[in-house]
Chains A and B, each alone.
Chain A
Amino acid sequence: MGRISDETLNAMRQSIVDGAPDTASDLARRAIAAGVEPLEAINDGFVPGMHAVGEQFARGQMFLPDMMASAEAMRAAMAVLDPELKKQGADRPVAGTVVLGTTKGDIHEIGKTLVGTLLAAHGFRVHDLGVDVSAEQFASKARELNADIVGVSALLTTTMRNQRGVVEALVKAGLRSQTKVMVGGAPVTRQWAEEIGADGYAKDAMTAVALARSLMEQKPVPEPA
Chain B
Amino acid sequence: MKPHFQLLEKELIERILGEAFQLIENPGVRVAPYVFDLLREAGIAVKDGVARIPEPLARSLLARVPREFYLYDRKGNRAVHYGGNDVHFDPGSSCLNILDAESWQPRPAVSSDLVRLVQVVEMLPQFAAQSTAVVCNDVPAEIGDWYRLLLVLWHSEKPVVTGAFSASSLHVLLELLAIESGGREALRNKPRAVFDVCPSPPLNWSEFASQNLVDLARAGVPAEIVSMPLAGATAPVTLAGSVTQHAAECLSGIVIHQLAHPGAPIVWGGAPAIFDMRSGRTPMGAIETAMLDVACAEVGKYLGLPTHAYLVAGDGRVIDAQVEMESGISAVLGALAGINMISGAGMLDFLACHSIEKLVIDAEAIASAQRLIEGIEARGDSLALAAFAQTGLQGDFLKLKETRALFRKEQHFPSAVIDRGLHASDTTALDILQRARQRVEELLASYQRHPLAPEREEEMLAFAQREGKKAGLEGLPGIPTLEYARETGLIQ
Residues of B within 8 A of A187 (CB): 96
Q: Mark A91-123, 1 if CB is under 8 A from B, else 0.
A: 000000000000001010011001000000000
* B166 at the binding interface (Cβ < 8 Å): yes
Residues of B within 8 A of A60 (CB): 278-279
Question: In whole angstroms, how far apart are the Cα atoms of A205 and B280 in the complex?
Answer: 10
Beta-carbon nearest neighbor of A159 in chain B = B141
B interface residue count range (under 10 / 10 to 19 / 20 to 34 / 35 or more): 20 to 34
Among A57-111, those with CB < 8 Å from B are: 57, 60, 62-65, 105, 107, 110-111
Question: In whole angstroms, how far apart are the Cα atoms of A64 and B274 in the complex?
Answer: 13
Contact of B280 among A64, A160, A186 (CB under 8 A): A64
* B368 at the binding interface (Cβ < 8 Å): no
User: Could you say which of B42-50, B173-181, B229-237, B302-310 contacts chain A?
Assistant: B229-237
Question: In whole angstroms, how far apart are the Cα atoms of A63 and B141 in the complex?
Answer: 36
Contact A63 B277 (CB under 8 A): yes
* A156 at the binding interface (Cβ < 8 Å): yes
Contact of A157 among B135, B206, B275 (CB under 8 A): B135
Contact A157 B280 (CB under 8 A): no
* A158 at the binding interface (Cβ < 8 Å): yes
* Interface of chain B, main secondary structure: loop
Q: How many residues of A contact B (CB 8 A)?
A: 19
Residues of B within 8 A of A114 (CB): 280
Interchain pairs with CB closer than 8 A, number: 43
Question: In whole angstroms, how far apart are the Cα atoms of A205 and B135 in the complex?
Answer: 26
Most buried by A among B145, B277, B352: B277
A115 to chain B minimum Cβ distance, whole angstroms, is 10
Beta-carbon nearest neighbor of B350 in chain A = A186
* B142 at the binding interface (Cβ < 8 Å): yes
B194 to chain A minimum Cβ distance, whole angstroms, is 21
Contact A158 B278 (CB under 8 A): no
Question: In whole angstroms, how far apart are the Cα atoms of A186 and B350 in the complex?
Answer: 10
Residues of B within 8 A of A51 (CB): none
Residues of B within 8 A of A62 (CB): 278
Most buried by B among A60, A105, A107, A114: A107
15 pairs, A vs B, C-beta closer than 8 Å: A57-B278, A60-B279, A64-B278, A64-B280, A107-B200, A110-B230, A110-B275, A110-B282, A157-B137, A158-B145, A158-B165, A158-B166, A160-B141, A161-B141, A186-B352
Interface of A with B (CB < 8 Å)? Answer: 57, 60, 62-65, 105, 107, 110-111, 114, 156-158, 160-161, 186-187, 205
